[in-house]
Amino acid sequence: MILFRNAFLAALIFFLLTLSAQAQLPEFTDLAEMAAPAVVNISTVRIVSGGEDLRRFFSPFQRRGTPFDDFFEQFERFFGDEAPTRRTQSLGSGFIISTDGFIVTNNHVIRDATEITVNLLDNDVSYIAEVVGRDTETDLALLKIETDRELPTLEFGDSDQARVGQWVVAIGNPFGLAHTVTAGIVSAKGRIIGTGPYDDFIQTDASINPGNSGGPLLNMEGRVIGINTAIVATGQGIGFAIPSNIGSEIISHLQDHKTVQRGWLGVTIQDLDENTAKALGLPGTKGALVAEAIPGEPADQGGLRSGDVIVSVNGQDVVDSSSLLRVVAQQEPGKEVRVVAVRDGKERNFNVTLGTRDTERLAQRERPSPHAEDQATALGITLRPISEREAQAMGMPRPQGLLVTDVEANSQAARSDVRAGDIVIEANQKPVNNVDAFESILEEAAERGVIMLLIRRHTQTIFRTIPFE
């Protein structure tokens, strides 16, 4: 009898705990029913050449000097401009933001498409969509379809108010399975995954798969707090969405102007690490380190220079290089902003009139790499002055800096990511054009125990800080 009573009590407790757990789970049915009609499936047609298709297929294996180079060169030489072409189709998602047919999606969903077709949940009719505008740097695009009826819509919510752990719902077209609803939580915010200069993703474990791109990530009120855009192919339950506060601003620009114009400071920047902060005499690693104020660009004209650490723009704190990019991009080109930067341990104010960010101009700043020769050794690196011919080849008005021709394996320089082919422009913010000057600065730097090098590497100017052994 006692055994029976204990078993009954255990069963009762288990039943009550199960009911309690179920009572705490959210109900998604009303949300799915409300939101799904405003989510669309997008299919595209793209014409690709055989050579382009093969290059895309083999792209993970392509490296300069491999047998694939010869293969593709022979392929293109044989077919010339008449390489065979074929139609490829891809699928994605989107959502309607206006009753007259404006649709948000990812740029990569409709990139290079010759035909874009939109299908709604409750309508068997397919609509041909036109591209209103696109922004490659945030991977967003705005489409428009023409219809006589009033369309269902979704509204943007406030992604800044989203909290890690809150429930979210994703609706999309994974693997062509139309209007699939999945649920999960916000796993993290502010993720930087290396897709572009304005990375600031919401991470979620709501199932996102190929075909979900461009679809909405919804909060429990049915508002869009993210645009689903990326996944980790080798992982499960790891997807990323563009925050709605970024997306809504970009989409508004595209709707009004068909393009996005961003403020441009004209600097190359990098994050501060502890060694670099120590070399600059800074108490912490907050801020964005100016590696180069590009000559003639707004920052240079406003008085900023290499080695400055930008800590705020128009009163907005700059925590690192990513936050500086976002803060400047939010400003209108032509606007004068107040930049606060630390120089020689003191904060200074600079008034800078922003230019317009031009991605094509940025891509054209490529310079050829120098050839290596052994000359002199210091701090685990081999250096020599740059010749007139090398300076001319690299687009330099005159020989400037020292060429790194070799880096000793396992040296502090190697561990600090100094590479053969780098050009050392400055050491501890002093110009160096010969090895003797470099070694003299080394001796002066002994007290701090680190030396900070300003390096030109291909298209970039960067700092590398080397602690002494």
Active site residues: 108, 139, 213
Measured CA to CA, the distance from residue 469 to residue 44 in angstroms comes to: 58
Handedness of CA 277, 279, 282, 283 (dihedral sign): positive
233 labeled binding residue: yes
232 marked among binding-site residues: yes
Q: Do the annotations mark residue 380 as ligand-binding?
A: no
**Does 318 carry a binding-site annotation?**
no
To the question of whether residue 97 is assigned a binding role by annotation, the answer is: no
Tell me how far apart the alpha carbons of residues 427 and 196 are, in angstroms, rounded to a whole number: 30
Q: Is 119 annotated as a binding residue?
A: no
Is there a binding annotation on residue 242? no
Contact in structure between 149 and 134 (CB atoms under 8 Å): no
**Residue 141: HSE in the Cβ half-sphere, 13 Å Cα cutoff:** 25
Half-sphere exposure of 320 toward its Cβ, with a 13 Å CA cutoff? 11
How far, in Å, CA of 375 to CA of 402, rounded?
A: 11
Q: Does 276 appear as a known binding residue?
A: no
230: annotated binding-site residue?
yes
Contacts of 269 (CB under 8 A, 6+ apart): 288, 289, 290, 291, 310, 321, 324, 325
The answer on whether 10 is annotated among ligand-binding residues is no
Residues of the binding site for substrate: 108, 139, 211-213, 229-233
Residues of the binding site: 108, 139, 211-213, 229-233
